[in-house]
Structure 1
């Protein structure tokens, strides 16, 4: 896991702990990166089985 992936993971983890899902705009503001970079990091985290998206509940699941 790269430093940026770890940063995105921690942001998602901390926000979901309090029942909030971070939007793309929030992730852009907190990381200072563009949408493509954030999407690539999230896809890598999903491939590594660190994150899952529950389509029915529309929430992130931290594994």
Structure 2
């Protein structure tokens, strides 16, 4: 996981703790990046099995919290 993916992951975790999902506009504002970069980061997190979308609850599930490799 690179630094940008880690930043997106932490934002999603922190926002969902309060029972809501971060919007794309909110992610753009907090990361300072464009939509394409955010979508790619979320796709990579899903490929790495760190995030999963729960269609029933309409919320993110955090499957595994990995420590960054050094």
TM-score, with normalisation over the residues of structure 1?
0.96
Provide the C-alpha distance between the structure 1 equivalents of 2:14 and 2:62, rounded to a whole number of angstroms.
10
Aligned CA RMSD, in angstroms, stands at 0.6
1:9 alignment partner in structure 2 = 9
- How many residue pairs get matched? 63
Structure 2 gap ranges (5+): 64-70
Q: Looking at secondary structure, tell me which structure has more helix per residue.
A: 1
1:55 alignment partner in structure 2 = 55
Q: Which protein shows a greater Rg? A: 2
Per-residue deviation, 1:52: 0.3
TM-score, with normalisation over the residues of structure 2?
0.87
1:32 alignment partner in structure 2 = 32
Structure 1 gap ranges (5+): none
- Give 4+ residue runs of structure 1 displaced > 4 Å after superposition: none
